[in-house]
Structure formats: structure tokens, C-alpha cells
């Protein structure tokens, strides 16, 4: 995978990220079934999360899905966008490390 950066916009939020921050999904799928990997896709770069964090802003309490992102991807998005949440455009994005997801992903790689 190249070191090229990719630019995306979602709901008016700009983010630029290095896709090597998270694990290459195609590489991990060579040894694992897609269904096993699907729950661990970074919502920012769409690769398998590395150093997974769960976005847990109060604004997302009613969402049923777990909002996982790679820590580096999320920090870069927040830095580039004045701490605007990439899920819904609000300020003061809250997140926490997800140790269980990290342990599971480490077993996949």
C-alpha cells in the first residue's frame, strides 16, 4: 500500500488520513472470513482498526452499532477539524480505548 494520503468529506467534515494507520483489510481477509472482520472496520479509513477506540459521544447514545475507529485515524480527523465528531458534526468528540476489540484484532493478525 502506498504512503499516499486520501481525502474524504462526510457531512461537511474534512479528513485526510494515511491508510497505514489501520491494518490492511485485504491482507487480514487472506486468513480470516469477512464476517469475522466486519465488526472491526475503522469508520474513517474503512480498514481494520489499529489501536481501536470507541466513539462514545452523548449524541450517539441511541445508536445500536459500536462506533470504532483507529486511534491515529480519529486523532488526525479531530485535529484537522477542530474536534468535530466524524459521526455527526458536533463539537467535543468523546472516545475511549477499546481493549477487548484490540485483543480480538491481535488474534486476527
**Least confidently predicted of 16-25, 50-59, 70-79:** 16-25
* pLDDT for residue 108: 83
Which contacts of 74-82 are long-range, i.e. CB under 8 A and separated by 24 or more positions? Answer: 74/44, 76/15, 76/16, 76/17, 76/18, 76/21, 77/13, 77/15, 77/17, 77/44, 80/14, 80/15, 80/16, 81/13, 81/14, 81/15
Task: Say which CATH topology domain 5-101 has.
Answer: Herpes Virus-1 (3.30.40)
In the chain, what are the domain boundaries?
Answer: 5-101
What integer pLDDT is reported at residue 20 of this predicted model? 53
| Each residue's pLDDT tens digit, 43-57 | 999 999 999 999 999
pTM score of the predicted model: 0.75
Residue 19 has pLDDT above 80, yes or no: no
Phi-psi bin for 30: left (phi > 0), alpha (psi -120 to 50), beta? Answer: alpha
Amino acid at each position: 500500500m502506498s504512503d499516499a494520503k486520501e481525502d474524504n468529506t462526510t457531512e461537511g467534515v474534512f479528513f485526510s488520513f494515511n491508510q497505514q494507520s489501520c491494518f490492511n483489510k485485504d491482507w487480514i481477509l487472506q486468513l480470516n472470513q469477512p464476517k469475522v472482520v466486519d465488526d472491526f472496520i475503522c469508520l474513517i479509513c474503512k480498514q481494520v482498526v489499529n489501536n481501536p477506540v470507541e466513539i462514545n459521544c452523548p449524541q450517539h447514545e441511541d445508536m445500536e452499532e459500536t462506533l470504532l475507529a483507529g486511534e491515529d485515524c480519529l486523532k488526525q480527523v479531530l485535529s484537522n477539524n477542530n474536534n468535530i465528531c466524524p459521526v455527526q458534526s458536533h463539537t467535543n468528540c468523546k472516545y475511549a480505548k477499546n481493549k477487548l476489540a484490540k485483543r480480538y484484532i491481535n488474534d486476527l493478525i
